Structure 1
Amino acid sequence: MRLTRRAALAGLAATVATSASAETTESGRIPVAVTARPITSFEPRSPEKRLFGKLTFRSGLVLSGNHSRFGGFSGLWRGPNGHDLVAVTDNGFWLTVKVVSRNGRLAGLERAELAPILGSSGRPLHRSRYYDTESLCIADGVAYLGVERTHDVLRFDWAAEGVMARARIVPVLREVKRLPNNRGLEAIGVVPASQPLAGSIVAIAERSGADDEPTLGFILGGRQPGQFKVIRHDGFDITDLAFLPDGDLLLLERWYRPLRGVGMRIRRIAGASLKPGALLDGPYLIDADLGQEIDNMEGLSVHLEGGRTVLSVISDDNFSFLQRTVLLEFELG
């Protein structure tokens, strides 16, 4: 989500840096030096506490980069071993990095590069009407992006071309195009092979109606394309999704109120309940606020590491000096 929410989240108009300290290479990639400050305790007032709801806090980083395009991360993916990380900014750029961990804790990011996301003609998305990129998943070598305002899903041949891949439009249901202008597809994922809807794209709107109404979700492609709804609680909006290895669906949710700050929740929904016409709900794994080390959390990814299920969450700093880019890791027991 862009401009209007940025001003509200920051409390002031967001300020965007205008100078860049790194130059674009011929390939379009922009090397970025990333500084990472460790977060050793998720709840500063209780530094020894590790268990939060159903999740165990592993580690975290506060990130900053030396390029004006670094920030605004609204979608996240980590590879099978967690070493490769891809994020997408909400103004049309890829971030690719190698994650450095020591003793099971995040230690930093290496070989960080930004690159403009390319449209079908090779023109960067940030110079087109598809600039508002809000959600990301990568499955079976294909990257999918959800685009707000135009309400589109784009696919990229990630395995073959990486950041040089060009967008191809995925057909969507007509109801997708009727979403509110700035409340579009904030969450996207691909149903894993263990489920009846395996291979289908699942996309969910941030908030498609009034505060107390369920939001719309869509099943695209596969054997049973259709529409479903997700119950919303306490004014939280949907900001991302990820599938667990067993097929259950995790939803990342964010809450904001002026003068009161932000909140984060992660909800688990049974994979078997995902079908056209469903009304989805499920228990929360974690519920956090500014008493914990969070910001405007918008990206969620799941990977396995030594048999352990690891959840990664990243924040969108809205390119504001009043916010932070936070990368967190939790373990699901």
Structure 2
Amino acid sequence: MKLSRRNFLIGGASAVATATFANKTLARPKPANGITPISIDATRIDHLSVTDRARARFGALTFRSGLDLRSADPNFGGFSGLWRSADGRRIVSVADNAQWMSARVEMHEGRLTGLTEASLAPLLDERGTPLARTRYYDTESLAIVDGVAYVGIERKHSVMRFDLAAHGARARGKLLALPGELRKIIEDLPNNSGLEALGVAPARSPLAGAVVAVAERSHAGDDTPTDGFILTGPQRGLFKVARSHGYSISDLNFLPDGDMLLLERKVSILEGFGIRLRRVKAAAIRPHAVADGEVLFESESSHQIDNMEGLAIHQDAGETVLTLISDNNFSRFQRTLLLEFTLDTNARRSA
């Protein structure tokens, strides 16, 4: 879409926050002190495009509904990873100031209406110390399988494991042992471009339960491939993920058949935030491979998006539902958005 002044003001408003995005630590608050109930105000988003409100189909996605989330609690925001329960009724998110957010999802006639029973809590290390007080303070990605959470950490690049099923938000994190041949590569990732994406391959996939991570961008250059890591299982190893058009990796998640969805984002002064979604075939995720995939969706300047960093997938009456959450970088110039789409698993972007 041609970038008119109107579209710039609508879709590019978040460009005001570019400086904040470039240095995400400027306004980062301390996490909640213990498990803290909060109230979340939600404004419904009934259309993705502000210039074509009747439009529902966007590439391989159909927009279902969304929420603009706000809270009076100063610790609210910064959400960089997302999980949604199999029935769609609960969400858990990790914020980049090392805190959990959990809530019940409220819906009416198939549309999101709000979040209730919400709380914030600090992530804890093995000794019970809040991660925000340690070198592992920058939490950026999340995957939860069978009650076990894996959290990707930047700057002190690593992955922690939390037994949420047994201990809930009081669970203590234990560092995931990284394979020796991969440890140095991970430790040498750029300071603020580490394990931004994290997922666990489904049991029926070729990787069968392996923890997989992808770096936001591991080398200089807008379109230089980034590093991907198979961290557990018999196929542990390094692979590459192709990049293009200035997009960096924001999150990943797996479809039931083992294909990987990559959420990507970019930001510019003129256009603000842009996002893209790619599907990578399961067979392409293997050591020494360069993984790439078809583009399922790419945002336009008229779309109601922000710095989308978290991607959750669940099934609803036979439909594959994608839920995205944005990281507002604790900035008053940005928004915390929760957006819900249905994925046409047989469609391509041109649909």
TM range (shorter): over 0.9
Question: 2:201 aligns to what?
Answer: 191
Q: Which amino acid aligns with 1:286?
A: F
Unaligned 5+ residue runs, structure 2?
1-15, 345-351
Percent identity at matched positions? 51
Question: 1:177 aligns to what?
Answer: 187
Q: Which amino acid aligns with 1:213?
A: T
SS in 2 for 1:185: coil
Decide whether the 8 Å contact of 1:19 with 1:68 is kept in 2. Answer: no
Decide whether the 8 Å contact of 1:14 with 1:320 is kept in 2. Answer: no
Decide whether the 8 Å contact of 1:73 with 1:89 is kept in 2. Answer: yes
Question: How far off is 1:328 after superposition?
Answer: 0.1
Q: Which amino acid aligns with 2:306?
A: D
Q: 2:323 aligns with which of 291, 298, 312?
A: 312
SS in 2 for 1:272: helix
> Distance in 2 between the 1:18 and 1:167 partners?
21
> Distance in 2 between the 1:307 and 1:284 partners?
23
Question: How far off is 1:331 after superposition?
Answer: 0.1
SS in 2 for 1:70: coil
Decide whether the 8 Å contact of 1:15 with 1:321 is kept in 2. Answer: no
Unaligned 5+ residue runs, structure 1?
none
- Is structure 2 residue 156 aligned with structure 1 residue 145? no
Deviation digits for residues 64-93 of structure 1 (CA, Å, limit 9, x no counterpart): 012111000000000101101000000100
Cα distance change, pair 19–265 in 1 and its aligned pair in 2 (3 A): closer
Q: 2:66 aligns with which of 29, 47, 60?
A: 60
> Distance in 2 between the 1:15 and 1:65 partners?
20
TM-score by length of 2: 0.89
TM-score by length of 1: 0.93
Q: Which amino acid aligns with 1:51?
A: R
Question: How far off is 1:258 after superposition?
Answer: 2.1
- Is structure 2 residue 257 aligned with structure 1 residue 246? yes
Question: How far off is 1:232 after superposition?
Answer: 0.3
Decide whether the 8 Å contact of 2:310 with 2:324 is kept in 1. Answer: yes
> Distance in 2 between the 1:123 and 1:10 partners?
28
Question: 1:122 aligns to what?
Answer: 128
**Count of residue pairs brought into register by the alignment:** 324
> Distance in 2 between the 1:15 and 1:178 partners?
23
Question: How far off is 1:307 after superposition?
Answer: 1.4
Decide whether the 8 Å contact of 1:229 with 1:278 is kept in 2. Answer: yes
> Distance in 2 between the 1:224 and 1:315 partners?
32
Decide whether the 8 Å contact of 1:97 with 1:113 is kept in 2. Answer: yes
Moved over 4 A (4+): 9-20
CA RMSD, Structure 1 to Structure 2 (Å): 2.0
> Distance in 2 between the 1:247 and 1:258 partners?
36
- Residues 148-227 of structure 1: matches in 2 within 5 Å? 148-172=154-178, 173-174=182-183, 175-210=185-220, 211-227=222-238
Decide whether the 8 Å contact of 2:223 with 2:247 is kept in 1. Answer: no
Cα distance change, pair 119–309 in 1 and its aligned pair in 2 (3 A): same
Question: 2:6 aligns to what?
Answer: none
Question: 2:100 aligns to what?
Answer: 94
Deviation digits for residues 85-111 of structure 1 (CA, Å, limit 9, x no counterpart): 000000100000000011110000000
Q: Which has the higher contact order (CA 8 A, sep 6+)?
A: 2
SS in 1 for 2:329: coil
Question: How far off is 1:196 after superposition?
Answer: 2.1
Cα distance change, pair 46–125 in 1 and its aligned pair in 2 (3 A): same
Deviation digits for residues 200-239 of structure 1 (CA, Å, limit 9, x no counterpart): 1000000001222100000011011000000001000001
Decide whether the 8 Å contact of 2:18 with 2:269 is kept in 1. Answer: no
Deviation digits for residues 301-331 of structure 1 (CA, Å, limit 9, x no counterpart): 1001111100000000001110000000000
Decide whether the 8 Å contact of 1:186 with 1:238 is kept in 2. Answer: yes
- Residues 230-269 of structure 1: matches in 2 within 5 Å? 230-269=241-280
> Distance in 1 between the 2:246 and 2:26 partners?
27
Q: 1:40 aligns with which of 43, 46, 52?
A: 46
